[in-house]
Structure 1
Amino acid sequence: MRSLETVVKKADVVFLMTDACSHESMYRARRLSKRYQKPMQYLKRTGTKSLLERAQEMLHEK
């Protein structure tokens, strides 16, 4: 299993599903996102649909 740091390093953007992780995981992901200058998006729902909708919104913002 890859570490969170490895995943964040390779990511274009970090999506954090707030109802699916602990506070400790959230803080760690936020620190790593800042360290590697990756944008971070928070999602309240954990479904695939909400993730895809947010990703699509980000594409249209550019």
Structure 2
Amino acid sequence: MLKVAVVGGTQKQNFIKAGKKKGFEVVHHDGKPSSGPSFRTKLETLVRQSDAIVILEGACSHNAMYVIKKLCKKLDTPITFHKGRGISGALNKVSEESIAASLVG
């Protein structure tokens, strides 16, 4: 099963439920910055354990977006940006952009 990290928003259980319907395992980070090095460490762990990343642009801090974008480039992890806050549209982007196909096939 493809593991997709969703960054942004606060509806973690809804994200997980919607992911299961699409055949994805969803892990979540709210995208809110915290002080100290643990913020970057948490995001790096999230990127390392995920097959693809979806950033909810309307519900994520600029700092989190910047850190994750850099980590994805470094670790060669596919990333997509969703302008809305809804998880269905975000997970559809994963499928539409062939991220899932390139990782599975």
Instruction: Give the TM-score normalised by structure 1.
Output: 0.81
Q: How many residues align?
A: 61
5+ long unaligned stretches in structure 2: 1-40
Alignment of 1:1-62 (within 5 A): 3-57=42-96, 58=98, 59=100
Which has the bigger relative contact order, CA under 8 A and spacing at least 6? 1
Larger Rg: 2
Moved over 4 A (4+): none
Greater share of residues in helix: 1
RMSD: 2.0
Greater share of residues in strand: 2
5+ long unaligned stretches in structure 1: none
Instruction: Give the TM-score normalised by structure 2.
Output: 0.51
Give the share of equivalent positions with the same residue, in percent: 30
